[in-house]
Structure 1
């Protein structure tokens, strides 16, 4: 019985530690949103903050492993990065613009750059 209680205590500790980390809720992030993510990058003993701005092309929901994929273009090359929502390395997430989309995964943006122009602003 004590082993089960210890496991429940550890589980509750992890839930409290990681769920209240960000002020922005995961449901506020929608596919088709343009977001700016400020996250820490360790370089030796120092840390620096890098801004990653792009469009959310997919969201994945599991209990604690909520993640989203962001696509951006740098010098004409498309880059994608997967972020875990409850990561302690993420400092803040700013939502800049929201586009109206009809699909839950925007993987078609990988193929054609011209299709990204067809996204309309959500009113």
Structure 2
């Protein structure tokens, strides 16, 4: 829904609208490619846009609701600079005149993501996040084990040092004790 808002369809765009068509229990995608004549009602829930194409010499227009669940995805193929918000006058023009008027078109590759692509991407992102968390936990456990080992080694070294110093002091005390008795 947000991706369709960000797409910014406007009059003069050449778009390809992918529709979900259900036939005999199966769903397939059908493309309708043409020129956007009008975009109505901004980005509200009831927003629509009109697309016109010429098929077999006959002009065909379709009005699509912007947020219709029947629309799988919308691709903007090229953008033309037009000086009108509604291009209804193009209905009476010949194809040659239309092309001449739209010659300042820029090739653009903008598209919305289809619902299935969005869902698979979301699942993949969640799995990647879970995997990253598991890897981080495993790494943290390894580091904790290493830290415990280092602490144990340090404790053992300290014990050895303490026992050595105690032994040295007891030896010194034994040596000093007879000297004091002699005096």
Report TM bin, short chain.
0.7 to 0.9
Partner of 2:22: 42
Q: Distance in 1 between matches of 2:64 and 2:72?
A: 12
60-69 vs 79-88, which moves further: 60-69
The structure with the largest helix share of the pair is: 2
Q: Which has the larger radius of gyration?
A: 2
Structure 1 ranges of 4+ moved more than 6 A = none
Does structure 1 residue 120 correspond to structure 2 residue 95? no
Tell me by how many angstroms 1:120 deviates. 2.8
Deviations 1:37-58 (A, max 9, x none): 1110111311111001001000
Q: Distance in 2 between matches of 1:26 and 1:115?
A: 31
Tell me, which stretches of 5 or more residues in structure 1 are unaligned?
1-20
Distance 1:56 1:26, change over 3 A: farther
Tell me by how many angstroms 1:115 deviates. 2.7
The structure with the largest strand share of the pair is: 1
RMSD: 1.7
Distance 1:110 1:69, change over 3 A: same
Matches for 1:1-123 after TM superposition, within 5 Å: 21=1, 23-25=3-5, 28-61=8-41, 63-113=44-94, 114-117=96-99, 118-122=101-105
Is the 2:4–2:66 Cα contact (8 Å) retained in structure 1?
no
Matched positions, count: 103
Tell me, which stretches of 5 or more residues in structure 2 are unaligned?
107-183
Larger RCO, structure (CA 8 Å, separation 6 or more):
1
55-64 vs 96-105, which moves further: 55-64
Instruction: State the TM-score, normalized to the length of structure 1.
Output: 0.76
Instruction: State the TM-score, normalized to the length of structure 2.
Output: 0.52
